[in-house]
Amino acid sequence: MSNASIDWIHSRLKFGIKPGLSRIIYLLEQLGNPQNKIKTVHVAGTNGKGSTVTFLSNILQQHGLAVGTFTSPYIEIFNERIAINGHFISDEDLDRIVGVIKPLVLQMDENPDLANITEFEILTAIGFYYFADQAVDIALIEVGLGGLYDSTNVIVPLVSAITTIGLDHQDILGDTLGQIAREKSGIIKAEVPVVVGNRMGVPTEAYEVIAAVAHEKKAPIYHPEADQTFDLNLHGQYQQDNAAMAVKLFEVLAEKLNLTVAPEKIKKGLKQAFWPARMEELKGFILDGAHNLPAIKRLVAEFDGSKKVHILFSALQRKDFHEMIALLQTIPNVDLTLTTFDYPKTIVSADVAAIPDVTWLEDWREFVITPKHDQEIYLLTGSLYFMSQVRDFLLTSN
């Protein structure tokens, strides 16, 4: 059943990340171009995509819409990446759609120009097919990587969004904020409005590139209102920024969808929003998937030293993990422990042996089961894959 479907989808991981649209365009054509049968919102950015999508989805649901969401990566189960009104795609629907798509992919593998379509490309096709099949009122589509050559960039949305720009995936997107902004602004379409995050999240160098692309394509630019404070169940200042992005996106959408903006429904939608492992409090711990430098910087800003902060951090062996650790060490009154976890290319003790004033813990579970002190903070952070394993352990252990 679905395990076999998921195993087959995962089997395409071996083809890695292959930016480009020719494979996904061909596959979607064979499926009748389902992406053209739905209304969409397209969300790019270094950080904040998932939370913004979650806030916006809840606001739209409060206004009576059936809302599809396409997000990545997953924290609890694979199916959560494709959902409608918060309900994950069922195993039966996943099996049914894989049954349609798999023969097409096997046929593509026989053509050198179309072979080796990746896991994310297949998942993108599944998402579009499912949303069209279920006739959602609107689908919120999160970019996988970059924007310009991301497999989701086959839509003409009602509105686009660029949440934040920071240095991440430089090996693919470029070494400067300007180069990364150009990749992400690839989602901007002719005369389609784009909401761009505040200047804290989108530095001037990046914003100038986005503004130039928008001007060239005659796409109106909108910004979230500054200095707003919302009543949220998601903690952290950056979630306030994400909520402001979602509200502005909704305002632009409401005009296009002829919706009446209801402030009480906006408030209720924001309050109901939940996104796991984003400053999430769980069994006495805070979980935050700060998996790149910009996210770590925003996380560090949340702590003022008034309480002792015990941090357990793990990451993939990317070139910036030393800088991420150094930033965590700047938190006042911090006790920093590093660890590894069960996933390819995670950091190991040899990677961090030369770093002073840190503790190495071979089994991260020891941190979780060690008795805690009241009035002190226990934070687990780093890779979202690490967060997924930690969260599962906390939820299933006594």
Same domain assignment for residues 52 and 167: yes
Under 8 Å between Cβ of 280 and 287: yes
3-state secondary structure of 85: coil
Same domain assignment for residues 219 and 70: yes
Q: What is the pLDDT of residues 105-118, one digit of tens each?
A: 999 999 999 999 99
Note the pLDDT of residue 16. 78
Same domain assignment for residues 191 and 268: yes
Mean pLDDT over 60-86 rounds to 94
Under 8 Å between Cβ of 320 and 167: yes
Same domain assignment for residues 233 and 141: yes
Same domain assignment for residues 198 and 311: no
Rg, Å, the chain Cα set: 21
Same domain assignment for residues 113 and 80: yes
Phi, psi of 222 (to 5 degrees): -120, 155
- The more confident residue out of 18 and 69 is 69
The CATH number covering residue 208 comes to: 3.40.1190.10
Residue 192 to residue 329: CA distance in whole angstroms: 43
Q: What is the pLDDT of residues 289-316, one digit of tens each?
A: 988 888 898 899 989 889 999 999 999 9
Q: Which amino acid is at 383?
A: S
DSSP output for 173-225: H-SSHHHHHHHHGGG--TT--EEE--TTTS-HHHHHHHHHHHHHTT--EE-PP
Residue 383 pLDDT greater than 80, yes or no? yes
Note the pLDDT of residue 171. 60
| Of 99, 92, 153, nearest in space to 121 by CA | 153
Under 8 Å between Cβ of 197 and 163: yes
Residue 141 pLDDT greater than 80, yes or no? yes
Same domain assignment for residues 257 and 314: no
Task: Show the domain range for 80.
Answer: 2-272
Q: Which of 247, 272, 297 is the last residue of a domain?
A: 272
The CATH number covering residue 332 comes to: 3.90.190.20
Same domain assignment for residues 364 and 264: no
Residue 169 to residue 312: CA distance in whole angstroms: 23
Q: What is the pLDDT of residues 197-245, one digit of tens each?
A: 987 788 899 999 999 999 999 999 999 998 889 999 988 888 999 999 9
Residue 179 to residue 169: CA distance in whole angstroms: 11
Note the pLDDT of residue 320. 84
Q: In what order do the strands lie in the sheet with 138-142?
A: 87-88, 82-84, 67-70, 138-142, 40-44, 159-162, 194-196, 221-222
Residue 170 pLDDT greater than 60, yes or no? no
- Count the domains in the chain: 2
Residue 155 pLDDT greater than 60, yes or no? yes
Q: Which of 212, 242, 272 is the last residue of a domain?
A: 272
Residue 194 pLDDT greater than 60, yes or no? yes
Tokens of 79: 């199916």
Residue 191 pLDDT greater than 50, yes or no? yes
Q: What is the pLDDT of residues 242-274, one digit of tens each?
A: 999 999 999 999 999 999 999 999 999 999 998
Q: Which of 272, 289, 304 is the last residue of a domain?
A: 272
Residue 397 pLDDT greater than 90, yes or no? no
Phi, psi of 237 (to 5 degrees): -60, -35
Same domain assignment for residues 234 and 309: no
Note the pLDDT of residue 372. 85
Same domain assignment for residues 84 and 130: yes
Cis peptide before 103 (omega within 30 of 0): no
Residue at token pair 């904020």:
177
Residue 1 pLDDT greater than 60, yes or no? no
Q: pLDDT-derived band of residue 373, with 50, 70 and 90 as boundaries?
A: confident
The sign of the CA dihedral 42, 47, 50, 56 is negative
Residue 387 to residue 121: CA distance in whole angstroms: 24
Q: What is the pLDDT of residues 93-139, one digit of tens each?
A: 999 999 999 999 999 999 999 999 999 999 999 999 999 999 999 99
3-state secondary structure of 120: helix
Same domain assignment for residues 259 and 297: no
